[in-house]
Amino acid sequence: MALLRDSRHIGKIVITLDPAEPVPVRVPRPPVALDPEATYLVTGGLGGFGAATALWLARCGARRLALASRSGAAHPEAGAVLARIAEEGALATAYATDITDPEATRELVAAIDATGHPLRGVVNAAMVLDDVLDDATAVELDDERTHAVVSPKLDGTAHLDRLTRDRPLDFFVFYSSISALAGNLRQSIYAAGNLAGEAIIRRRRAAGLPGLAVQWCAISDTGYADRAGMVDTMRRAGFGELDSVTATRVLGELISDPDADVVMVGNTDWAQTAKLLPAVAAPRFTEMLPAPGAYPQDTDRNIPELVRSAAEPEALALVTEVLVSALAAVLHTAPERIDPDTRLDQLGLESLMAAELSSVLQRRLDCVVPTMELATAAGVRQLAPRLLGRVRRGV
Ligand SMILES: NC(=O)c1ccc[n+]([C@@H]2O[C@H](COP(=O)([O-])OP(=O)(O)OC[C@H]3O[C@@H](n4cnc5c(N)ncnc54)[C@H](OP(=O)(O)O)[C@@H]3O)[C@@H](O)[C@H]2O)c1
């Protein structure tokens, strides 16, 4: 009814009385079986979380790893990464390849073929996300900045997909981000790039090919979030902590799970996250969120009692605050956008909304406000004193 009322639906709405589907609990699976004669490619694998992934592959039994990034062996972390993988008994080779370039990517795959150890798995962990881009809202972006962030995700994944379609692969993994799922105002192009990569994974799956996209939360011990000192902020925002060892262990379970295609992995406190990211309040997150305290400030404060014991100006301010916040919630807008002198119907309050507002006000102010009175009210400034009188009289 809420959807219908706000005209947020497309086409028909089907109401079923089926019990809610339980969120599936994934049973841990054995780590993925890797071919010691094959090569596994990790793009973005010479540093950060990509390097942690390469190390994990070596620990899982991969003996040959191709690690590609634009700077290749000159990547600041490359020396340490290759040495660490050698300690696991595997041979990692650094390739200087820009995967947004189709010809360079073709040469990379040809160079792997030339080793005689066929390519059997791909992880695309390449990304570009500099501080300037991270801070830009969509309107501040231009083509060049957009392309820099989207291309390693979209073009890079598309080239790798095209070049490996006719090969038997153990896995084809794309590293996405929670920002693709929950959105983030200042990461719109990063989210877009990740969604584009996920679309390629879905297309692979539809064609019967291996494909997995993982929407990671912030990784706490390596990679961009760690480098940029964002981990604390992310934890406070409800994203929890996910270290690279835990993350790659889950990756192993997902790779060997035939049902996993696009999966979010994180230790997320969704109720907390929803306060920060408005998109998390969308209906598709319903199963993840605790039963809502539906309206802002719907706390256990006894408002009628506070109103009755306060002096006139404070009492009026309190009633006005309750009225404005409830009205804003019903109208899906911010309280500061409610003009106190505009008729409620001109603010967009139609009959179903008025009924909802009436019931909220009854619950919070313990007084009856007929729907018609709301629908015809001249504005918050005119309505609030009337409500105050009723709260005081307890009617
Ligand atoms: N770290 C996190 O918290 C986090 C959270 C969610 C998702 N992820 C995902 O996990 C992946 C790795 O993240 P990270 O934090 O480890 O990032 P990172 O440390 O910035 O590493 C990204 C790597 O990608 C390489 N790269 C960039 N453009 C490339 C291109 N065109 N061709 C080849 N390589 C390229 C870079 O090396 P060069 O400069 O040498 O090219 C860099 O080493 C990303 O896909 C990211 O979206 C990470």
- The set of protein residues with a Cβ atom below 6 angstroms from ligand 1 is 43-44, 46-50, 68-71, 75, 97-100, 125-128, 152, 156, 175, 177, 216, 218-219, 223-225
* Nearest of 65, 263, 238 to residue 173 by alpha carbon: 263
pLDDT exceeds cutoff 80 at 167:
yes
Least confident piece of the model among 21-30, 106-115, 159-168, 273-282: 21-30
**Confidence label for 272 from pLDDT (cuts 50, 70 and 90):** confident
Which residue owns the Cα nearest ligand 1 atom 32? 98
Question: Residue whose CA is closest, atom 34 of ligand 1?
Answer: 69
Mind listing the pLDDT tens digit for each residue in 251-260?
999 999 999 9
Domain ranges within the chain, ordered by starting residue: 27-287, 303-393
CA of 325 relative to ligand 1 center, distance in Å = 42
Ligand 1 atom index nearest CA of 194: 47
Distance 150 CA to ligand 1 centre (A): 12
Radius of gyration (Cα) for the chain, nearest Å? Answer: 27
Provide the pLDDT for residue 137. Answer: 66
Q: Which residues of 25-52 are buried (b: 16+ CB within 10 A; e: fewer)?
A: eeeeeebbebbeebbbbbbbbbbbbbbb
Helix, strand or coil for residue 115? coil
Cα 111 to ligand 1 centre (Å): 22
Q: Residues 226-246: pLDDT tens digits?
A: 998 888 777 767 877 799 999
Q: pLDDT band for 80, please (50, 70, 90 cuts).
A: very high
List the single range of 256-270, 278-292, 318-332, 345-359 with lowest mean pLDDT.
278-292
Considering only CA atoms, which residue is closest to atom 41 of ligand 1? 70
- Interval between CA 49 and ligand 1 midpoint (Å): 7
Query: Can you tell me the distance from the alpha carbon of 310 to that of 24, in angstroms, rounded to the nearest whole number?
Result: 51
Q: Ligand 1 centre and the CA of 71: distance in Å?
A: 12
- pLDDT, position 208: 97
27-287: CATH class: alpha beta
pLDDT at 279: 76
- Structural contact between residues 81 and 51, judged by C-beta atoms closer than 8 angstroms: yes
Superfamily of 303-393 according to CATH: ACP-like (1.10.1200.10)
Condensed to tens digits (0 to 9), the pLDDT of residues 107-118 reads 999 999 999 999
**Mutation probe of ligand 1 site: the residue of 69, 106, 200, 231 with most atoms within 8 A of C-beta:** 69
Q: Which residue in 42, 35, 167 sits closest to 95, CA to CA?
A: 42
In the block, residue with structure tokens 């390097």: 51
- Tell me the C-alpha to C-alpha distance, in Å, between residue 35 and each of 82, 170, 204, 209: 20, 9, 22, 18
Percent of the chain with pLDDT over 90: 58
